């Protein structure tokens, strides 16, 4: 391995490597640092943030990209809960499965504090401008595989299985469930529902 490869953590020819699936996750601090860098350099522009994340991931080894993707999937799975879905349902006047996945990607892309605060209290979204909240932003979750494939010629190996079981207190679209759960959001966005 040459000095360039040692400095940048890459093998001389990653196209010849077979990467084994793993459930290992990227360290929390390292993951959120990459998200923050992409967010800070994008100035809130989703398309630019995707490009910035690509740049950051290209600096990693293929194995570290796997760990990043695993962590991203873990966080998106943890956000798969009824309360968060209810909050975005109120704000946008509805939200299907695919849109809810895109929304969870967006929540992750906003950074560690935003992610943790939003999961702890979905009604805190009342402080975010509705135009900034994204439910149709595909891209962030696909970037690790895109970069990995460019580097290795392979798709990311599937080792980590994202949570697919929704958690939390179930609500019904009809009735007052959402109004009771999130009175402030409901009052602000009642015209959307």
Tens of pLDDT, residues 90-146: 999 999 999 999 999 999 999 999 999 999 999 999 999 888 887 777 778 899 999
Q: What's the pLDDT score for residue 8?
A: 53
| Structure-token pair, residue 146 | 């895109």
Tens of pLDDT, residues 151-161: 999 999 988 99
Tens of pLDDT, residues 20-35: 889 999 999 999 999 9
Three-state SS string across 119-184, please?
HHCHHHHHHCCHHHCCCCCCCHHHHHHHHHHHHHCCCCCCCCCCCCCCECCCCCCCCCHHHHHCHH
Q: Is the pTM of this model over 0.75?
A: yes
Tens of pLDDT, residues 169-183: 999 998 899 999 999
Q: What's the pLDDT score for residue 9?
A: 54
CA–centroid distance for 27 within its chain: 15
Q: From the CB of residue 107, how many other CB atoms can be counted at a distance below 10 Å?
A: 24
Rounded CA-CA distance 193/189 in Å is: 7
| Structure-token pair, residue 164 | 């697919």
Q: What's the pLDDT score for residue 45?
A: 85
Q: What's the pLDDT score for residue 13?
A: 47
């Amino acid at each position: 391995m040459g000095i360039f490869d040692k400095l940048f953590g890459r093998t001389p020819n990653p196209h010849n490597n077979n990467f084994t699936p793993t459930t290992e996750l990227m360290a929390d601090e390292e993951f959120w640092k990459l998200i923050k860098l992409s967010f800070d350099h994008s100035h809130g522009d989703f398309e630019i943030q995707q490009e910035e994340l690509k740049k950051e991931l290209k600096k990693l080894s293929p194995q570290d990209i796997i760990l990043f993707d695993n962590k991203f999937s873990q966080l998106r799975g943890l956000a798969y809960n009824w309360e968060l879905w209810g909050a975005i349902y109120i704000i946008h006047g509805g939200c299907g499965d695919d849109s809810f996945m895109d929304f969870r990607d967006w929540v992750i892309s906003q950074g560690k504090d935003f992610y943790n605060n939003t999961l702890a209290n979905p009604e805190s979204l009342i402080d975010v401008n509705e135009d900034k909240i994204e439910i149709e932003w595909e891209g962030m979750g696909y970037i690790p595989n895109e970069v990995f494939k460019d580097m290795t010629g392979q798709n990311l190996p599937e080792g980590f299985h994202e949570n697919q079981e929704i958690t939390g207190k179930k609500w019904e679209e009809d009735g007052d469930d959402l109004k009771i759960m999130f009175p402030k959001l409901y009052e602000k966005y009642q015209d959307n529902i």
